[in-house]
Structure 1
Amino acid sequence: MSKVNNIVEHMLLAIQNGNLKSGQKLMSIRVAREHFNVSKNTMIDVYDRLVSLGHITARPGSGYYVSTLSKKQNRSSTTHIAEAVDAISLLREQLNQTYRVRVGDGRPPSSWMSQFDFDMRLKIPSDSKYGYGHPMGFEPLREAIAQNLIERSIQASADQVLLTYGANHAMDLIIKQFLSPGDTVLVDSPGYYPLFAKLKLYKIKMIGVRRGGTGPDTEDLEDKARVHRAKLFFTQTLGHNPTGGCATLAAQYQVLKLAEKYDFRVVENDAFADLLPPGIPRMAGLDQLDRVLYIGTFSKTLSASFRVGYVAGRQALIDSLCNIKMLTVVTSSDYLERWLYSLIANGQYLKHLRRLRPMVEQASALALNNFSSLGFHVPYQSEGTYYMWLELPNHLDDIEVARKAAEEGIFLAPGTVFYPEKKSSQKPALRINVAYANDPDFLTFLRKLRAGAVGNE
């Protein structure tokens, strides 16, 4: 997080908690920059950001003051930001490189990727070097993606594919297109926590739908769709994050029937599509992009810093999403899209996938064996994904277990953060990245956890 964002977050929480009171004068730019040990320009950016958010006001010749709102109003206006910040705490930890063992990471280790020697050199026509690129994204790459979708039984043309800065950017565009503050959506529970943070930031009401071994609990989905009249259902059919499970064909059909009955759209995130067989059923294939918006990404299989993804849907909807993309980021990276297309066209990407898939399979099989031998249960079959859901003994608090692990240099992802709401009925668990699951230090930690040497001490 940037210095500006850090200080803005700090001051918002101070306003929310009442440490900075309504009408109170703030430190001058000079004093504040010394207090926070930042540059003058950074502090100006902080105050400008807070003014634009409506939390402070600038009085010429006098200084900056906390806006004269009641404490209740201040709390209401900042709560959604504080909740969003809390929801991305795990993401911040993932970006922290100080942990020795990163079992809770969402990404594979660099060692899994660095052995693949991608040629970053790319010849770009001189008339394209300094342009923005097409707002829909590099057309040959969109055509290649459309061909991949056809192999997944999803009939789509290049005009139905919008390139984005990864899956999260695609979700952001969809939220902007379909939702307004106060609207209701359905989400997997447990599910994709960065999405929860986005929805909280936009003041969208989330209703969790129980996720089980066969996919979304369709009885729970119907109950909640009937009551809440949600506009969207965000779900991950295959290689589910965090459980690693895949929805059955029957569950997918039932979700689509309910989407039609209760008039909501399905946003299907298929982040691990390239690690899975193309013939596995997907809702976008069953529905042919009628009520389904289909999201894919290359960040999971190439690099977390390689932000190229896409969203596919009906052409009219994709055109609308493209308009929002142009208004917010103008266009995505033409250079990265051309480079990715070159990897696909010359066969390097396919070669990479053929090496990566068995690495995931072998690590998963070994982890299952190790967990079983230690007396731990993995309730869902993991396929074509980096993730497993490791259940903990009922008396443990998964947040506390993660804290204890951090003291030993082990980063864990507690199951609690993957739920849109905290409930006492939730069984404690950890999301496990199979790439790190067999680390001897982590297995030793689990052994001590089972023996009662760590946990609720």
Structure 2
Amino acid sequence: MTRIDAVIQHVHAGIAAGTWPPGARIWSIRTAAAELGMSKNTVAEAYDRMVAMGQLEARMGSGYYVPTQAKREPLPKAISVAQAVDAVSLLREQLVRRYEVRVGEGRPPRAWVGRPDFKPLADPGRHPEDNEAHDYGNPWGFDKLREYLAQSLIERGIEATPGQILTTMGANHALDLIARQLLEPGDTVLVDSPGYYPLFAKLHLGGIRIVGVRRLVNGPDIDELNTKAARYKPKLFFTQSLAHNPTGSSLSLPIGHRVLQAAARHGFDIVEDDPLADILPANAPRLAALDQLERVIYVGTFSKTLSAGLRVGYLAANPARASALCDLKMLTVVSSGDLAERMLFGFIASGQYLKHLRRLRTRVSQTTAQALQAVRGLGLEVFCEPSGCFYLWVYLRPGDDESRLVEEASARNIFIAPGRLFIPERVNDRPAMRLNIAYATHPKFIDFMRERSAGKA
């Protein structure tokens, strides 16, 4: 703990104990320095930080005071079943993080990322007095990052130039740009079923009709894809080929070829989301590599493998489509944050990202094996054995009710992601849940599931 942290902790303790009630004037900087044996500069810095966080009020010529506004009540841990199966509520829970045991979480634990040392990369072409933090940045994205991404795509078999790559504020921003540019209210799209629930909510918001295509262990059900494409005449098919969320399955090469044949036959284009690409084999089957970005728009992100807080993602498309998407990006958000992209590239260029990915791959592999063993030990069936994925798609016992499971888990401070949320039609032929491998072995979750099973026996 730093000396500044010690001052802050002491003031918080005094407020909590009632020594300084709401509205009270706390020690002056001089008095606090003498009482705590700190320098006045240390106390001043601590007070400034507390003022910046709204924990103290500074009154010119008078001193520092405890805020008078009422303390916020903590957010309730329990949520209704109706909310739990709603896309916005599930997304909110993943952001607000109220539950202790988070088996429904979409991201890896913070501990898996560590403490990345992000520093903006200096641009030798800039004047020393220029400040990149003050600029919007190139709407296409930071050039050096796009050059790195182009090389990464080439390693994955996707021949893309930097001019075909547009940075975004995460994959969801990329998906939003694509939907806005290529779709109109009333249009129909195909999606994986089960699939990525935030995408469903986004498309519904735009008045787009969503038709699910059953996901199998080796990719989309080709017969169903062709049947529904012929019937509904979709404009786009949104899919995740590898380390699929939520099933953990990955596309096989023969199925990939047949997906592209279906697209050509029925006249739809494809949006391929690849959020875990950096920990997956470069030569794994990708539709963008088979198609070379003619019909496919490829979406990537650093949110799953490094930091969601940076909000850095990207898309790659044919030149005309990439240019149109860049124009839309300028009209809607101007740019995607030059400083964040420079910080990310600095981390990559330092070699830290490569070391991080090596650790993450090992961790995912080991944790997946442990999670599979734990879930099967509960007598539950897993859709498939994933590779390089954070998720298990786990079937519940016949007759089990997802809503009741969510409700009972919530009462035990356990966050569950129910299966029907990932089904476009919200009708799940087999009750299921998506488990995050990092939390699937948590003793409280295991005990909870065992008790439920014993109660049904």
**TM-aligned CA deviation for residue 141 of structure 1:** 0.3
**TM-aligned CA deviation for residue 189 of structure 1:** 0.6
Structure 1: which amino acid aligns with 2:433? Answer: L
Greater Cα offset, 95-104 or 406-415: 95-104
Which of the numbers 174, 179, 182 marks the counterpart of 1:170? 174
**1:140 lines up with 2:139 in the alignment:** no
CA deviation vs aligned residue, 1:294-353 (integer Å, no higher than 9, x gap) = 000000011222210000010110000000000000001100101111111111100110
Alignment of 1:202-213 (within 5 A): 202-213=206-217
Match of 2:264 in 1: 260
CA deviation vs aligned residue, 1:1-34 (integer Å, no higher than 9, x gap) = xxxxxxxxxxxxxxxxxxxxxxxxxxxxxxxxxx
Aligned length: 371
**1:450 lines up with 2:449 in the alignment:** no
Which of the numbers 437, 451, 456 marks the counterpart of 1:434? 437
Structure 2: which amino acid aligns with 1:89? Answer: S
Separation in structure 1 between the aligned mates of residue 96 and residue 454 of structure 2, nearest angstrom: 30
Separation in structure 2 between the aligned mates of residue 121 and residue 158 of structure 1, nearest angstrom: 20
Separation in structure 2 between the aligned mates of residue 193 and residue 422 of structure 1, nearest angstrom: 10
**TM-aligned CA deviation for residue 128 of structure 1:** 4.6
Match of 2:283 in 1: 279
Structure 2: which amino acid aligns with 1:146? Answer: A
Match of 2:94 in 1: 94
What's the % identity of the aligned pairs? 52
Cα pair 2:119 2:347 within 8 Å, conserved: no
Unmatched segments (≥5 aa) in structure 1: 1-38, 40-81
Which of the numbers 355, 364, 370 marks the counterpart of 2:368? 364
Structure 2: which amino acid aligns with 1:430? Answer: M
Cα pair 1:213 1:381 within 8 Å, conserved: no
**1:312 lines up with 2:311 in the alignment:** no
Query: Equivalent residue of 2:381, what SS?
Result: coil
Alignment of 1:330-345 (within 5 A): 330-345=334-349
Query: Equivalent residue of 2:382, what SS?
Result: coil
Alignment of 1:112-151 (within 5 A): 112-114=112-114, 116-120=115-119, 122-123=121-122, 125=126, 126-129=129-132, 130-151=134-155
**TM-aligned CA deviation for residue 133 of structure 1:** 0.5
Query: Equivalent residue of 1:452, what SS?
Result: helix
TM-score by length of 1: 0.79
**TM-aligned CA deviation for residue 121 of structure 1:** 5.8
Match of 1:225 in 2: 229
Match of 1:9 in 2: none
Cα pair 2:136 2:338 within 8 Å, conserved: yes
Which of the numbers 413, 420, 423 marks the counterpart of 1:419? 423
Cα pair 2:391 2:437 within 8 Å, conserved: yes
Cα pair 2:409 2:448 within 8 Å, conserved: yes
Structure 1: which amino acid aligns with 2:263? Answer: A
CA root-mean-square deviation: 1.8
Structure 1: which amino acid aligns with 2:216? Answer: G
Separation in structure 2 between the aligned mates of residue 95 and residue 404 of structure 1, nearest angstrom: 21
**TM-aligned CA deviation for residue 381 of structure 1:** 2.1
Structure 1: which amino acid aligns with 2:100? Answer: R
Cα pair 1:284 1:292 within 8 Å, conserved: yes
Separation in structure 1 between the aligned mates of residue 455 and residue 215 of structure 2, nearest angstrom: 29
Unmatched segments (≥5 aa) in structure 2: 1-68, 70-81
**TM-aligned CA deviation for residue 212 of structure 1:** 1.1
Match of 1:103 in 2: 103
CA deviation vs aligned residue, 1:342-383 (integer Å, no higher than 9, x gap) = 111111100110111111111100011111122111121211
Separation in structure 1 between the aligned mates of residue 407 and residue 119 of structure 2, nearest angstrom: 40
Query: Equivalent residue of 1:432, what SS?
Result: strand
Separation in structure 2 between the aligned mates of residue 306 and residue 266 of structure 1, nearest angstrom: 27
Structure 1: which amino acid aligns with 2:281? Answer: P
Separation in structure 2 between the aligned mates of residue 112 and residue 441 of structure 1, nearest angstrom: 21
Cα pair 1:146 1:157 within 8 Å, conserved: yes
Cα pair 2:138 2:335 within 8 Å, conserved: yes
TM-score by length of 2: 0.79
**TM-aligned CA deviation for residue 171 of structure 1:** 0.4
**TM-aligned CA deviation for residue 453 of structure 1:** 5.7
Separation in structure 2 between the aligned mates of residue 249 and residue 448 of structure 1, nearest angstrom: 42
**1:197 lines up with 2:210 in the alignment:** no
Query: Equivalent residue of 2:91, what SS?
Result: helix
**TM-aligned CA deviation for residue 97 of structure 1:** 2.1
Structure 1: which amino acid aligns with 2:432? Answer: A
Cα pair 2:99 2:415 within 8 Å, conserved: yes
Greater Cα offset, 216-225 or 339-348: 339-348
Cα pair 1:268 1:294 within 8 Å, conserved: yes
Structure 2: which amino acid aligns with 1:220? Answer: E
Query: Equivalent residue of 1:185, what SS?
Result: strand
